Structure 1
């Protein structure tokens, strides 16, 4: 047998063995776009967010297979689309080593890499008690997955208790049509559903459900962590959350066409110099949905078109400065990208029909009507 043929046979056998061992199926073809639609909001800036478009498509049914796909690339920036089906948990997520990856057991580790898409397919992708950690990475897309019950204390623990967490020089991430949920607050061992810190920029969270948690998410880990920003939140549903929907420390955020239901303590908490443009959202059966809370370091907001339905407001005092009962703008925020605003009155309906995993990745047409986007 010629050497080249032997090498090809060896590679084929190795791939087959990897697939059998980890739950990874490697496609021989490239895909121009496995994701439905394209990035929106601030994820379109700074060169845009395309994930693994144009790269090889693989199918993973375990967390180890996801890591193996990352580690099997020619380099840490080689584009790849990872289609995920089934339940990803601690029992099937181990560390995999390689020159194109930096993984760890017990978490989906997207560290020091770029140009990656993770998309749920088939009967669905559920990350059960297992978080997705993005660190020192860029151009990442996560679409159509559920991440649930990630703990920072108790057993098992993963990702510091964050469903999706980003930190340390992260750029251009689009998270779309996901369901992020917990089963309680910090006392039950959970932390944030969607956290960004330590110089994370150009992120969009769209058409997602965040529910049943003490903390929705944050931008900035402390009052001094102001290196984050340029984050868009649109057409998401926050439901049964205590606070942080989100908490903003520094930077600029655009928050539009979201549906907020049963926020128990506070909602959008703009503080430490943060500036938020808050447009055409629908707030219902909630408390203190906008303002600066739990700090003397003020944040700012520009508001228009929002509906406050059975929202209660605390009296202003000390470190609690709610924007209501009649919120008015105290800053101006320029938005560099184009977008279409649904009327706030239809937000509950259109968000309930489009947001979350396994909804067909439908989006609003900008006129309160769901539609399926192009590839």
Structure 2
């Protein structure tokens, strides 16, 4: 008997076999849920649990996904939909019911809540057919591939977005997915991950976004500023023209992502947006951060990023690249805990963990992948009031022992981001502990520079008398490349791998008062 709706529900024993034969649907005897717990902004505002606690069904067609949504007791009844195989236009029809609002040719998650869609078995591929979330909340999408969704040409789906959200959407977690296109806008594609018209509390984690003209946006226009609180972490952006992402208003936290071959621009903060950009790795790319194609500027707070063969365009009336040093222009408060990998290991960890069908591995926050729990069930619920602290692997404090050897700062040059009144950059290399440089506030950066490259493996930051202990968190940066050589807290002797460079920057990112750096010594060994 050919089934009218290809919806299969896993159950044990003869009851399941009978159900399959006649096309009935029975809940699984043991429910599963998304693997792991939501991270980032999806973990706040009450948390994102998807369909946890609900029945589990298995679907091999788009029509079956719609049927699962439409046969729930209500539009908020929790449900977990396990997807196997290829979902396409040919097997995705509109289904009607009191608990759904679906459409043909697109996976429609509209006016619903408490749903998990997770790829299982040999994988789930949404081919030329996008996932559309509208007027919905508490949705998890995990371990699926969405590819080649078009807004023009044939066939079309979801306005050309692989995953699109709009119109009062809350608490969405998209994790371990692969979103890809076969070209840019001229080939009929739009964004891979778009949010507009009041979308908030979203996390995109461990995803691959590649081979597209547009990575994604937050806000459909300069006036659409009702979106925000979006986290992007441990994602791999490859061969993208722009929008990684484009931010129009709102707050975004962008950390531990690997960007490669961004052709036109990367993180585009516009229209009052605030982006916190932490410990990402940018390779072979152009204009990776700034405000582009508009005079309505956005802002950013940066730390720990590595720039590997990054180029920058000139500043213009509608073009304000952040480079080459990418100084912060705002501060951003993050209301949840997170573990931060060092940027130097981001390419390796992201390659191992990101994307669909990669084992749902995550980083342990120390640049090491870890496998998901043995059981796919999840019992922990995110807290509605997360800790405002950030959990990171602590760096050892600098040594207070004076180094031996030649201080290469003597006779070199110095510059910095700012200086307090009555202080000078040159005071840090004059050999005197009675003179000093101070930033104009509690944070800033001071650099030592040479006309030819020097091999440096140690620096000594010596605070002026009466100001010891004020320096908090810092980074030592290869100013030639933007690479972070070491991070930690407190002044003293800092050792790192020997590096050949012409300019080395000590960047103070926190302090308990206005720092006073009397001497910034540099050593080869």
TM-score (norm 1): 0.94
Deviations 1:208-246 (A, max 9, x none): 000000000000000000000000000000000000000
> 1:25 and 2:5 equivalent?
no
The DSSP-based 3-state class of the residue aligned with 1:348 is helix
> 1:274 and 2:273 equivalent?
yes
Distance in 2 separating the partners of 1:292 and 1:197: 19
Is residue 31–residue 53 contact of structure 1 (8 Å, CA) maintained in 2?
A: no
Aligned to 1:180: 179
After TM superposition, give the deviation of residue 23 of structure 1 in Å. 1.6
After TM superposition, give the deviation of residue 30 of structure 1 in Å. 6.0
In structure 2, the CA distance between the partners of 1:30 and 1:136, relative to structure 1 (3 Å rule), is farther
**Range moving further from structure 2, 26-35 or 228-237:** 26-35
Q: Which of 1 and 2 has greater Rg?
A: 2
The DSSP-based 3-state class of the residue aligned with 2:211 is strand
Deviations 1:43-83 (A, max 9, x none): 00110000000000000000000000000100000000000
After TM superposition, give the deviation of residue 198 of structure 1 in Å. 0.2
CA RMSD of aligned residues (A): 1.0
The DSSP-based 3-state class of the residue aligned with 1:192 is coil
> Following superposition of structure 1 onto structure 2, how do residues 95-174 of structure 1 map, counting pairs within 5 Å?
95-174=94-173
Distance in 1 separating the partners of 2:289 and 2:216: 15
Distance in 2 separating the partners of 1:214 and 1:371: 32
Is residue 182–residue 212 contact of structure 1 (8 Å, CA) maintained in 2?
A: yes
Q: How many residues align?
A: 358
In structure 2, the CA distance between the partners of 1:51 and 1:233, relative to structure 1 (3 Å rule), is same
Aligned to 1:318: 317
> Following superposition of structure 1 onto structure 2, how do residues 71-86 of structure 1 map, counting pairs within 5 Å?
71-86=70-85
Ranges in structure 1 where 5+ consecutive residues have no aligned partner: 1-16
After TM superposition, give the deviation of residue 204 of structure 1 in Å. 0.1
> Following superposition of structure 1 onto structure 2, how do residues 234-245 of structure 1 map, counting pairs within 5 Å?
234-245=233-244
In structure 2, the CA distance between the partners of 1:252 and 1:30, relative to structure 1 (3 Å rule), is farther
The DSSP-based 3-state class of the residue aligned with 1:277 is strand
Is residue 30–residue 54 contact of structure 1 (8 Å, CA) maintained in 2?
A: no
Higher relative contact order (CA 8 A, sep 6+): 1
After TM superposition, give the deviation of residue 20 of structure 1 in Å. 2.4
Distance in 2 separating the partners of 1:344 and 1:241: 20
Aligned to 1:262: 261
Is residue 205–residue 235 contact of structure 2 (8 Å, CA) maintained in 1?
A: yes
The DSSP-based 3-state class of the residue aligned with 1:160 is helix
Distance in 2 separating the partners of 1:51 and 1:322: 38
After TM superposition, give the deviation of residue 317 of structure 1 in Å. 1.0
Aligned to 2:40: 41
Distance in 2 separating the partners of 1:373 and 1:266: 34
Is residue 32–residue 56 contact of structure 2 (8 Å, CA) maintained in 1?
A: no
Distance in 2 separating the partners of 1:352 and 1:272: 33
Deviations 1:128-168 (A, max 9, x none): 00000000000000000000000000000000000000000
Aligned to 2:87: 88
In structure 2, the CA distance between the partners of 1:32 and 1:50, relative to structure 1 (3 Å rule), is farther
In structure 2, the CA distance between the partners of 1:30 and 1:336, relative to structure 1 (3 Å rule), is farther
TM-score (norm 2): 0.67
Ranges in structure 2 where 5+ consecutive residues have no aligned partner: 11-26, 377-525
After TM superposition, give the deviation of residue 34 of structure 1 in Å. 2.2
Deviation >3 Å, runs of 4+: 29-33
The DSSP-based 3-state class of the residue aligned with 2:4 is helix
Distance in 2 separating the partners of 1:103 and 1:122: 26
After TM superposition, give the deviation of residue 26 of structure 1 in Å. 2.6
Aligned to 2:432: none
Is residue 31–residue 55 contact of structure 1 (8 Å, CA) maintained in 2?
A: no
Distance in 2 separating the partners of 1:73 and 1:208: 30
Aligned to 2:345: 346
Distance in 1 separating the partners of 2:282 and 2:5: 44
Distance in 1 separating the partners of 2:357 and 2:176: 8
> Following superposition of structure 1 onto structure 2, how do residues 160-239 of structure 1 map, counting pairs within 5 Å?
160-239=159-238
Distance in 1 separating the partners of 2:104 and 2:32: 29
Is residue 259–residue 351 contact of structure 1 (8 Å, CA) maintained in 2?
A: yes
Deviations 1:156-187 (A, max 9, x none): 00000000000000000000000000011110
Is residue 31–residue 56 contact of structure 2 (8 Å, CA) maintained in 1?
A: no
Aligned to 1:5: none
